[in-house]
């Protein structure tokens, strides 16, 4: 067995990549203001590289009023002073490359901040050079908004601008006006903003809410959803946004030619990758469409970022995408900065570190690339946030039924000591919960049985077995609480088994096998013979099928 990449794999590195998501505000504070920054990432690159990951995705660090913590960009080409300078970014990029890490940055293309110079000009009147750069519409005869579209963050998606005597569209906060991608000038300008970062040497782009760029030019009302179908995918289920079928405010067919324009630009820069975030009425279908030849390299959706947790759900989601995606490529994640931490979401009220290990093992075994959110390698749980601590505008709008996204965004605990658990020398922007101190990096580094060390061993196994990186996937029959599949290569297959339950489960093996589960990766199976394996609770098992 060998971990060497083939020539094809090296050229298409992203197909087997493990991407470590850095929430820049919460990784490490280098200047002592309580907020993580770019120099802080640079100082922690040694740790990130030690995990064995291939790339890091950095959340927005551009100039912004921070109404949505950087996803409201006011200057696409400037670093916000909170996070450092453009020179700090260049230093980070060079240092990452020096450690063999690629750098993917967030790009927010569908909207800007209302403080962006483009919007400040556009809102002045109906005749200025940027008058048509945003989505403006007249009121109905009774003065109400032009249609029934809703904002994900609550309320209507239209805000009145008295200067223009028109409404403007915002799918998110009212301080995040939507750009008008039907205007060719807007498309060209956005491509120029992307090229600015390409010329600085970035290795890829995570494209935020990429299916929201285009809207229906006729401004048709979205139809209602029946109550039984009103379930959230990346947003609070008590949000009226879930009451509509979002057919007209996003995921419009005009997006496909723009993706091809974007890909044409990207292809001028060898090995640069695009990763799209998809949240649509049929996200798996949109992923397939957006990753077709000549469009995005890969995409991810919220299908495994939900509360639903079972072997059946995971199997059904992966198999359905496999059937629909054709030559496209998925990027799987079970956690990110927008949803409750996976160990709390899937692990129940008293989750075990063994579950954290199993969730990581499972994620790193699926066919596709992987986005692993900072803290998952430590097995962090969702942080309890009190009302007075809420910073997220989404949580402020929907408290207490939805407490927002702050609980998954708290600072990474580097030490079990100090005011901010080694994250900062001062009070951090969000509190570090007491229970996270017991999961600190410093403690887990010294413990060979820790979640962190198991994470490293699983990534090493993925590197060793090429089938786990690029092989096909085929699910096998198994007990209801077991996920069982093969990663199939041209010469051999690797069997992957995961016991999602707290009870031991016996498996009958499909044939002769060689156990390749690394020592210490998981609780050892209670026993295995030539024909069967007994998985202990939350155990993972890997075997080469002879």
d(CA 266, CA 94): 20
d(CA 29, CA 32): 6
Cβ proximity of 120 and 74 under 8 Å: no
| 331, β-bridge pairs | 369
Residue 88 annotated to the active site? no
Looking at domain 472-545, which of 2.60.40.1180, 3.30.420.40, 3.30.450.30, 2.40.160.40 is its CATH number? 2.60.40.1180
Token digits for 99?
A: 């450690």
d(CA 411, CA 357): 21
DSSP string, 370-384: EEEETTGGGTPPPPP
Cβ proximity of 116 and 134 under 8 Å: no
What are the average pLDDT values for consecutive 10-residue runs of the chain, which has 546 residues? Answer: 56 93 98 98 98 98 98 98 98 98 98 98 98 98 98 96 98 98 98 98 98 98 92 66 96 98 97 96 94 96 93 96 91 96 95 97 97 98 95 90 94 96 98 97 97 97 96 95 96 95 90 88 71 92 90
Query: Residue 78, Cβ neighbours under 10 Å: how many?
Result: 14
SS (H, E, C) 144-179: CCCCCCECCCCCECEEEECCCCEEEECCCCCCCCEE
Cβ proximity of 397 and 4 under 8 Å: no
d(CA 379, CA 409): 14
Reference 366, options 319, 412, 432, 307; nearest CA is 319
d(CA 251, CA 253): 7
Per-residue b/e over 299-333, b at no fewer than 16 CB within 10 Å?
bbbbbbbbeebebeebbebbeebbeebeebbbbbb
| 207, β-bridge pairs | 107, 276
Which entry of 72, 161, 178, 277 is annotated as an active-site residue? Answer: 277
DSSP-derived secondary structure letter, 283? H
| 514, β-bridge pairs | 544
Q: Cα–Cα distances in Å, from 113 out to 116, 157, 520?
A: 5, 15, 48
**Domain coordinates of the chain in residue numbers?**
7-112+185-458, 472-545
Sign of the torsion formed by the C-alpha atoms of 390, 396, 398 and 404: negative
Which entry of 54, 68, 178, 208 is annotated as an active-site residue? Answer: 208
Q: What is the pLDDT of residue 532?
A: 87
State the CATH class of domain 7-112+185-458.
alpha beta
Per-residue b/e over 464-489, b at no fewer than 16 CB within 10 Å?
ebbbbbbbebebbebeebbbbbbbbb
Q: Cα–Cα distances in Å, from 245 out to 241, 269, 273, 464?
A: 9, 38, 31, 45
Residue 199 annotated to the active site? no
């Amino acid at each position: 067995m060998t971990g060497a990449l083939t020539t094809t794999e090296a050229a298409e590195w992203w197909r087997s990549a493990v991407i470590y998501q850095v929430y820049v505000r919460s990784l490490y504070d280098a200047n002592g203001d309580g907020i993580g920054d770019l120099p802080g990432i640079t100082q922690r690159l040694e740790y990130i590289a030690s995990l064995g990951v291939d790339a890091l995705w950095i959340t927005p660090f551009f100039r912004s009023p921070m109404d949505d913590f950087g996803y409201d960009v006011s200057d696409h080409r400037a670093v916000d002073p909170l996070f450092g300078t453009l020179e700090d970014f260049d230093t980070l990029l060079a240092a990452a490359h020096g450690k063999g890490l690629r750098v993917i940055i967030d790009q927010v293309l569908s909207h800007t901040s209302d403080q962006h110079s483009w919007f400040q000009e556009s809102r002045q009147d109906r005749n200025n050079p940027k008058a048509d750069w945003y989505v403006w519409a007249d009121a109905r005869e009774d003065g109400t908004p032009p249609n029934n579209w809703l904002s994900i963050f609550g309320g209507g998606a239209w805000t009145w601008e008295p200067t223009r005597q028109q409404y403007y569209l915002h799918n998110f906060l009212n301080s995040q006006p939507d750009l008008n991608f039907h205007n060719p000038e807007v498309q060209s300008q956005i491509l120029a903003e992307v090229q600015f970062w390409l010329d600085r040497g970035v290795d890829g782009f995570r494209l935020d809410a990429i299916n929201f760029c285009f809207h229906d030019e006729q401004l048709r009302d979205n139809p209602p959803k029946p109550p039984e179908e009103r379930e959230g995918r990346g947003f609070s289920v008590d949000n009226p946004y879930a009451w509509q079928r979002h057919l007209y405010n996003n995921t419009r067919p005009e997006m496909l030619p723009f993706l091809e324009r974007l890909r044409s630009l990207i292809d001028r820069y060898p090995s640069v990758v695009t990763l799209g975030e998809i949240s649509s009425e049929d996200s798996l279908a949109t992923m397939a469409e957006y990753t077709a030849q000549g469009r995005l390299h890969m995409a991810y959706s919220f299908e495994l970022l939900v509360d639903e947790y079972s072997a059946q759900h995971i199997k059904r989601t992966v198999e359905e995408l496999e059937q629909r995606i054709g030559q496209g490529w998925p990027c799987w994640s079970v956690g990110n900065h927008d949803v409750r931490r996976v160990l709390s979401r899937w692990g129940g009220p008293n989750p075990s570190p063994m579950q954290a290990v199993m969730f990581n093992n499972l994620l790193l075994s699926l066919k596709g690339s992987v986005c692993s959110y900072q803290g998952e390698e430590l097995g962090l749980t969702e942080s309890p946030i009190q009302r007075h601590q809420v910073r997220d505008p989404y949580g402020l709008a929907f408290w207490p039924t939805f407490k927002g996204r702050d609980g998954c965004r708290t600072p990474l605990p580097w030490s079990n000591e100090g005011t901010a658990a080694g994250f900062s020398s001062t009070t951090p922007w969000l509190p570090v919960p007491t229970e996270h101190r017991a999961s600190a990096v410093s403690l887990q580094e010294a413990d060979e049985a820790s979640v962190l060390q198991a994470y490293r061993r699983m990534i090493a196994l993925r590197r060793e077995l090429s089938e786990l990186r690029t092989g096909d996937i085929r699910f096998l029959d198994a007990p209801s609480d077991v996920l069982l599949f093969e990663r199939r290569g041209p010469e051999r297959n690797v069997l992957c088994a995961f016991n999602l339950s707290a009870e031991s489960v016996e498996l009958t093996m499909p044939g002769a096998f060689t156990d390749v589960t690394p020592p210490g990766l998981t609780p050892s199976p209670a026993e295995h013979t030539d024909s069967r394996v007994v998985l202990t609770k939350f155990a993972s098992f890997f075997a080469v099928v002879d």
